[in-house]
Amino acid sequence: MKTLIHEIGVIDKKGNKHPVNFKAGLNVVTGKSSTGKSALIEIFDYCFGSGENTIPKGVITTSAAIYYVALAVNEQDMVIARDPDIATKAFFRRVEAFNTTEIDRDYFSSSYFRPLDEFKKHLRGFFLDIDDVDESLAARANRRFNQKAPTPSVRSFSSFMLQHQNLVANKHALFYRFDEKEKRDQAIEHTKIFLGLVDQKFFHLKQDQERLNAEIRRLERQKETNKRASESYKQKVGPVLRQLYALMGFKDDPLSLDKVLRHPQDAKEQLDGIIVSEKIDYNSDAMTRRYDQLKLARNQQAAELRKLQRQASSIKKHIQEEERFVVNVKQFKSPKDVHIAAAVCPFCHTEKDSLRQSAENLHQAITKVSGNLAQARPMKAKFESSLVDVQRSTEVLSKTLAELNQQISEIEKTEKNLTEQKSLYESIVMQKAKLFALLDTLDMADDAELEKSIKETSKQLYGISESLKAYNVQKGLEEASAKVNRYMAEIGKHFEFEKSYLPINLRFSFETFDLYHLQEEEKVYLRSMGSGANWLYCHITLFLALHKYFAELADECSIPSILFLDQPTQVYFPNFNRDTAESFDEQKSQEEKQRTKIERPIDEDIKAVENLFSRLSIYCNELELDNGFSPQIVVTDHADNLELSNGVLFESLVNGNRWRARGLIHPIQE
């Protein structure tokens, strides 16, 4: 997202303004130690919604009443600010065109302050428009109070914009805020949003996809339930139909069971014409034959049941024996010592010890047997599994026997009714009614509706799946990583990596956010790459490549086109942390005197620093030509009066922000 900082400043408690102005492209704030250079990145971060005030304690924090940042997002100017005494609120004011002369203490009216969370959401609206990033509504339902997943925050942008002094050459960390796992995971998860690979519609489609998949699974389960219920009822129809035919005295089935099951409602209409009093055969022995068949079947099933019951009893006995065996084995101990008395001849008093070897052999045998017993594989689990199988078969047979008993009882009841002068047709009508009730449960209309619903839902799901194909997030992340890797190869070859890492071959993944140097087939991660210069150039190369890619995406990318580099030259001038000289040349001379002969000459380090700033300047100019705008890079450092290889005057980059005789908070001329 095209973003430009106009001004970062402080309003002190006396109402005086202390502004630092910036322009597009590369900006340098140079000066000696303790002048507030590093405070600029912290002030920006604080005004950009940080919940923690990390501005270094000192003159600035003692004097400040308001911290503010004036910036433009896609040419929309705004001023954001924080009052350190009101940590839970932040200031936001949208303006037609930023004018630094309007900024004073009264400008920051309390009516423009809003709760910090509300402020961050409002500011986010200028970079991206998204409200719901849940891909799974089921996952949301499992959260406490049915909370939505954390939506992208402007705070995640900080990881791509800020390289603090303790980070810019760090071998253990690349990104700001990634030391907190939750923030790291959120930033990685939201990257596909930041890069424009997905939008709000994507998440709604994913939610609908999950919902429709769940609906299809529900319908399929209902269909399966109906099928099982139908099969159960079908099994009941056969005996009832055969009973009805037997009562009628039919020798042959007028309507087969298969036809009845295939067309239940049609069968009812046909049976209405078949099951009539005129067609009853009173002389038929069909009922007797059916009665005999049922009793025979019952006897067979009862015999099988008894067999299973005996089998279950046997298995239970084996399990008990197994348990007893295990207990006995645990109690069994082999003798530790064998005591043998010598045999003495009563005549010659000669001792014989021939039993000793036999005793030792016996001891070894006992030890071996006891060891084998202790290591014997238990069989209890196998017995228990067999017992469960037998018990399940027993349950099935018991149900079958119950059904046979019921059918036999019905025949006996019918015969009893006949002996009591009751009509046979009355019994037939009752059996017919029972059959028709079962046939009604076999009406397949519900399954037809289910099939229709499944087809319609599947059609909707297909449409959503086709729409989601347009996003192809995985491919988008892979292509993004490939471009950044290509840009790193172009950028990295201009920096002074150690010879053992040349040619530099850095690789970065948007899926893991890992960075490594690929040397032949070996991945050499940042932490293993040696000197501070390597760490610095890995950071610089990666972040320039990232911002080049962001600039190429233009409005599709929501990450602001801003990059802060705080004290990148510290790897060359570590002693500059105590820089109190009136000029950079004076401090350079002091540094040169302090270095030993075995240390690298300061002139070589100056050349490396000049190359670094030259490449930053060239980078900004090239991107301006290619994309119409360049990421705004703000470098705060001690280095000054450098000669750049591209002919750009270093003074034009400093643009008045030289703090040798003053600092961020400086005396105001009355």
Tens digit of each residue's pLDDT (9 = 90 or more) over 455-485:
999 999 999 999 999 999 999 999 999 999 9
Q: Given pLDDT bands bounded at 50, 70 and 90, which one contains residue 188?
A: very high
Quote the distance between the C-alpha of residue 623 and its chain's center. 36
Is residue 447 within 8 Å of residue 269, measured between CB atoms?
A: no
- Identify the top-confidence range among 126-135, 154-163, 217-226, 304-313: 154-163
Q: What is the largest CA-CA distance in the chain?
A: 136
- Identify the top-confidence range among 280-294, 437-451, 528-542: 528-542
> Please, what is the angle between helix 200-248 and helix 445-469, to 10°?
160
Using a pLDDT cut of 70, give the percent of the chain over it.
90
> 326 pLDDT exceeds 60?
yes
Tens digit of each residue's pLDDT (9 = 90 or more) over 256-290:
888 887 788 888 888 888 888 888 888 888 778 88
DSSP string, 61-77: HHHEEEEEEEEEETTEE
Angle (nearest 5°) at CA 242 between 238 and 243? 115
Q: Pick 417 or 482 by higher pLDDT.
A: 482
Angle (nearest 5°) at CA 579 between 573 and 583? 100
First to last CA, the chain: 41
Instruction: Name the phi and psi angles at 517, rounded to 5.
Output: -100, 120
| pLDDT at res. 333 | 61
CA–CA dist 420, 76 (Å, integer): 101
> 670 pLDDT exceeds 50?
no
Q: Which of 202, 182, 189, 190 is nearest to 154 (CA)?
A: 190
Q: Given pLDDT bands bounded at 50, 70 and 90, which one contains residue 420?
A: low
Angle (nearest 5°) at CA 400 between 394 and 406? 135
> Please, what is the angle between helix 532-553 and helix 154-161, to 10°?
130
| pLDDT at res. 347 | 66
Is residue 175 within 8 Å of residue 539, measured between CB atoms?
A: no
Q: Given pLDDT bands bounded at 50, 70 and 90, which one contains residue 618?
A: very high
Task: Spell out the domain ranges in the chain.
Answer: 228-447
Angle (nearest 5°) at CA 139 between 459 and 202? 50
| pLDDT at res. 427 | 82
Tens digit of each residue's pLDDT (9 = 90 or more) over 68-103:
999 999 999 999 999 999 999 999 999 999 999 999
Tens digit of each residue's pLDDT (9 = 90 or more) over 400-411:
898 888 888 877
Q: Given pLDDT bands bounded at 50, 70 and 90, which one contains residue 445?
A: very low
Cite the DSSP H helix spans in 256-379.
Answer: 257-262, 264-274, 286-331, 355-374
Q: Given pLDDT bands bounded at 50, 70 and 90, which one contains residue 339?
A: low
Q: Pick 381 or 576 by higher pLDDT.
A: 381
Q: Exposed e or buried b for every residue in 59-76, given b needs 16+ CB within 10 A?
A: bbbebbbbbbbbbbbeee
CA–CA dist 73, 91 (Å, integer): 16
Q: Given pLDDT bands bounded at 50, 70 and 90, which one contains residue 396?
A: confident
Average pLDDT over residues 12-18: 95
Q: Pick 541 or 179 by higher pLDDT.
A: 541
CA–CA dist 153, 123 (Å, integer): 9
Strand 89-94 versus strand 113-115 pairing type = antiparallel
| pLDDT at res. 341 | 58
> 397 pLDDT exceeds 50?
yes
CA–CA dist 515, 537 (Å, integer): 12
| pLDDT at res. 352 | 63
> 510 pLDDT exceeds 90?
yes
Angle (nearest 5°) at CA 439 between 435 and 443? 170
CA–CA dist 643, 616 (Å, integer): 13
State the chain's mean pLDDT as an integer: 87
| pLDDT at res. 668 | 62
Tens digit of each residue's pLDDT (9 = 90 or more) over 350-374:
666 666 667 667 666 766 665 554 5
- Two tokens, residue 31: 């000066």
Using a pLDDT cut of 90, give the percent of the chain over it.
55
CA–CA dist 51, 22 (Å, integer): 25
Q: Given pLDDT bands bounded at 50, 70 and 90, which one contains residue 508?
A: very high
> Any idea which residue has 């930053």 for tokens?
616
Q: Which of 478, 532, 527, 526 is nearest to 504 (CA)?
A: 526
CB neighbours of residue 51 within 10 Å: 11
The DSSP 8-state label assigned to residue 96 in this structure reads S
CA–CA dist 670, 665 (Å, integer): 15
CA–CA dist 117, 167 (Å, integer): 27
Query: In which order are the strands placed within the sheet that holds 515-519?
Result: 506-508, 515-519, 522-525
| pLDDT at res. 142 | 82
| pLDDT at res. 584 | 80
Q: Which of 578, 517, 492 is nearest to 171 (CA)?
A: 517
Q: Exposed e or buried b for every residue in 227-238, given b needs 16+ CB within 10 A?
A: eeebeebbeebe
Query: What is the chain's percent helix, strand, coil content, to nearest 5?
Result: 55, 10, 30
| pLDDT at res. 335 | 60
Instruction: Name the phi and psi angles at 89, rounded to 5.
Output: -130, 160
> 111 pLDDT exceeds 80?
yes
Cite the DSSP H helix spans in 375-423.
Answer: 380-419
> Any idea which residue has 């008045």 for tokens?
656
Q: Pick 307 or 336 by higher pLDDT.
A: 307
> 315 pLDDT exceeds 70?
yes
Is residue 569 within 8 Å of residue 612, measured between CB atoms?
A: yes
- Two tokens, residue 570: 């510290």
| Residue 526, phi-psi category: left (phi > 0), alpha (psi -120 to 50), beta (remainder) | alpha
Count of residues in the chain: 670
Average pLDDT over residues 249-259: 85
Q: Given pLDDT bands bounded at 50, 70 and 90, which one contains residue 343?
A: low
